[in-house]
A and B are shown apart, each in its own frame.
Chain A
Amino acid sequence: MSLFKYSAPSSFYPLAGRLVPWFGTLAFLLCVAGLYIGLFVAPEDFQQGEVYRIIFIHVPAAWMAMFIYLVMAFYAVLALIYQTRLSSMMMEALAPTGAIFTALALWTGALWGRPTWGTYWAWDARMTSTLILLFLYVGYIALINAIEDKKRSDKAGALLVLVGSVNVPIIYFSVKWWNTLHQGASVSLTQGNKMAATMLLGMLVMALACWMYTIAVSLCRVRAIILEREKNAQWVRNIREVNDQLKVT
């Protein structure tokens, strides 16, 4: 059995349906564990006091904002080179969740910035490039909905996502390249960790929860997109969810 068969919407639709409950349950359990560690187990920060607990939401949201965009860029490459319909559908399914995480990163950052820096917002490189990322997500959603011909809208969307992906390394390295109000990374792949172990654990568990949530919600959304786009295909008319309801009514 080849994995490539799942690049066809008709094969992917039932597979996604089977995966959603697993990823959804994992996301819920990890979120409960992460919030428990973040709010009850992790110690108070010696400098910032209790307000630092925003980190358990802010950092996972910011990581997901960047990561989801990179995943969309990967699908954009597949869509442009191989013309796979499912890649464009996955991009469409991921974009709203990416936009929500970006908005959450900005919102929680503002609420964290006020008590620690004395301001909700500053036009520094990290914050401004994250705001541009939000505009890229919103722009992508607006663009694909503005063009009626799906082939053209998929192509235009994929190009926008690819061009915009240049912004992700700018966000990540902005605190190194420029003198920003935003602090540098507390967790780095090359320089290790500068936090207490329980703080890091809570943050990583929350990041994993966000990851599982993103997979669950985007798989669920892509199922809706598949039905919307392929509603005239015969296989869609034979799916269980449609026929079971028809028998009842």
Chain B
Amino acid sequence: MNWTDFFSMDGRGFYVWGSFGAFLGCIVIEIVLVRLRIHGAQAAVREEVVVQRLQERQ
């Protein structure tokens, strides 16, 4: 298989790779954002627990 022909896609590489690139880009960004959100939510709960424990000690 010729890789130059493969990437050129009959001279329509911009349209094909523009589509596949957007698809993979969106998925990667969404996964990163979801991971950040769940880690943020867990951190917020931990903070609440620490505050609660400090208040109980006082």
Instruction: Show the binding face of A for B, using Cβ within 8 Å.
Output: 35, 39-40, 49-51, 53-54, 57-58, 61, 96-97, 100, 103-104, 107-108, 111-112, 114-115, 213, 217, 220-221, 223-225, 227-228, 231-232, 236-237, 239, 241-242, 245-246
Task: Tell me which residues across on chain B come within 8 A of A223, comparing CB atoms.
Answer: 38, 41
Decide if the interface of chain B is mainly helix, strand, loop or mixed.
Answer: helix
Residue of chain A at shortest CB distance from B23 = A57
Q: Could you tell me if A107 and B19 are in contact, using CB atoms closer than 8 angstroms?
A: yes
Q: How large is the interface on B (under 10, 10 to 19, 20 to 34, 35 or more residues)?
A: 20 to 34
Decide if the interface of chain A is mainly helix, strand, loop or mixed.
Answer: helix
Apart from A51-B15, A227-B41, A242-B49, what 12 extra A-B contacts exist at CB < 8 Å? A50-B16, A51-B9, A54-B16, A57-B20, A100-B26, A108-B23, A112-B15, A112-B19, A217-B30, A224-B37, A231-B41, A242-B46
**Which 6 pairs, one residue from A and one from B, show the smallest C-beta to C-beta distance?**
A227-B41, A224-B38, A108-B19, A50-B9, A51-B12, A50-B10
Choose among B30, B37, B41 the residue that contacts A97 (Cβ–Cβ < 8 A): B30
Residue B54 at the chain A interface, CB threshold 8 Å: no
| Sampled A-B contacts (12; CB under 8 Å) | A49-B10, A51-B9, A100-B30, A108-B22, A213-B27, A217-B30, A220-B38, A223-B38, A223-B41, A224-B41, A227-B45, A237-B45
Residue of chain A at shortest CB distance from B47 = A231
Complex CA gap A223/B41 in Å reads: 9
Q: Could you tell me if B23 and A104 are in contact, using CB atoms closer than 8 angstroms?
A: yes
Name the residue among A58, A111, A225 with the largest chain B CB count within 10 angstroms: A111
Q: Could you tell me if A224 and B16 are in contact, using CB atoms closer than 8 angstroms?
A: no
Task: Tell me which residues across on chain B come within 8 A of A228, comparing CB atoms.
Answer: 41, 44
Residue of chain A at shortest CB distance from B27 = A213
Complex CA gap A242/B47 in Å reads: 9
Task: Tell me which residues across on chain A come within 8 A of B46, comparing CB atoms.
Answer: 242, 245-246
CB distance from B17 to the nearest CB of A (A): 9
